A = this chain, B = another copy of it.
Amino acid sequence: MVVPPSPEGKAECWYTEYHTADLRLSLRVERFLLTKRSKYQRIDIFDSHEMGRVLALDSKIQLTERDEFMYHEMLVHPAMLSHPDPREVLLIGGGDGGAAREILKHPVERLVHVELDEEVVKACREFLPSLACSYDDPRHELVIGEGFQFLRRQPDESFDVVIVDSTDPIGPARALFSGEFYDEVRRALRPGGVAAAQGETPFLYPDVTSGLVRVFRERFSSVRVFVSFVPSYQSGMWAFVVGSDSSLDLDRGELERRMAERRIETRFYNPDVHLGLSSLPNFLRELLGS
């Protein structure tokens, strides 16, 4: 629900997102910068007083400037550092550019970035330059199209890492939570390759998280679930799933070494957090099995 600003000086404008039918978060809006309908979804960009600039798609907050680092770093670095030498990376979704920015901190040769909605990229290049900052990097190849279709056309063993930065599993992103999609992800990975995806809130939508974890476990011999903090997202508690047929049991020293070698600088992620946030509380162990 997007309320247009009132012309009176005293009125307040709040952006209210329904996390469930019975729970909602509201951000006070300073000004709307963009409201448009693309072929796929409604795109809103506004400045909020508390969380900085905000991108919302179909009335769901995708990111706020203030906490997007907490999301993008945990989506990208556990996966990228779990691979000893990620040269070719596929990113599906994440048209805002935040995940691409984090991936390109690693010395990759090529990032193929498949985003469905060109209008999201355009909007973020204009209004969110701190995220959409790598589209001019020659390593960054943007492909506008459907992730699932793109993957089907890829030869086997094309990528070292595949990262899925999808919206919620309603509307266009639904297919990105399916087993058929991850069959293709697995096929496109080179031996020892690593796949990662955002896994939604295990607190409010436990079935979505556990469903995705099951899809990963059925396809990869090693799976890690990280549960981290994203204050602007539903419940603030967010899952990230990483899978590989190589072992994901890296110790602190190895993670430190890889991070230092690649000269990765972060505001949230560090090797202790990598290990710490994959220690799950009991109710999530029960939900996800071990």
- List A residues at the B interface (Cβ < 8 Å): 14, 16, 20-28, 48-51, 67, 70, 203-204, 227, 229, 231, 235-237, 266-270, 272-273, 275-283, 285
The main secondary structure of chain A at its interface with chain B is mixed
Q: Most chain-B CB neighbours within 10 Å: which of A50, A67, A236?
A: A236
Residue from B26, B231, B269 in contact with A24 in the complex, judged by beta carbons closer than 8 Å: B26
Cβ-defined contact, B28 with A25, below 8 A? no
Residue from B26, B27, B235, B269 in contact with A231 in the complex, judged by beta carbons closer than 8 Å: B235
- Quick one: closest B residue to A48, CB to CB? B22
Chain B proximity of A227: nearest CB distance (Å): 8
Cβ-defined contact, A203 with B50, below 8 A? no
Tally of this chain's copies:
2
Bound Cα distance A273, B284 (Å): 11
Bound Cα distance A269, B236 (Å): 18
Cβ-defined contact, B27 with A51, below 8 A? no
Chain B proximity of A281: nearest CB distance (Å): 4
Q: Which 10 pairs between the two chains have the least Cβ-Cβ distance?
A: A236-B236, A276-B279, A276-B276, A272-B279, A22-B49, A22-B28, A22-B50, A231-B235, A23-B50, A268-B281
Bound Cα distance A70, B51 (Å): 25
Which B residues are in CB contact (< 8 Å) with A268?
A: 281-283
Contacts A203-B229, A270-B279 aside, 10 further interface pairs with beta carbons under 8 A come to A16-B26, A23-B26, A23-B27, A23-B28, A24-B25, A229-B237, A231-B235, A231-B236, A267-B282, A275-B276
Cβ-defined contact, A67 with B203, below 8 A? yes
27 interchain pairs (CB within 8 A)? A16-B26, A20-B50, A21-B28, A21-B49, A22-B27, A22-B28, A22-B48, A23-B25, A23-B27, A23-B50, A25-B25, A26-B26, A70-B281, A203-B229, A204-B231, A229-B229, A229-B236, A231-B235, A236-B237, A266-B282, A268-B281, A268-B282, A269-B282, A270-B279, A270-B285, A272-B280, A273-B281
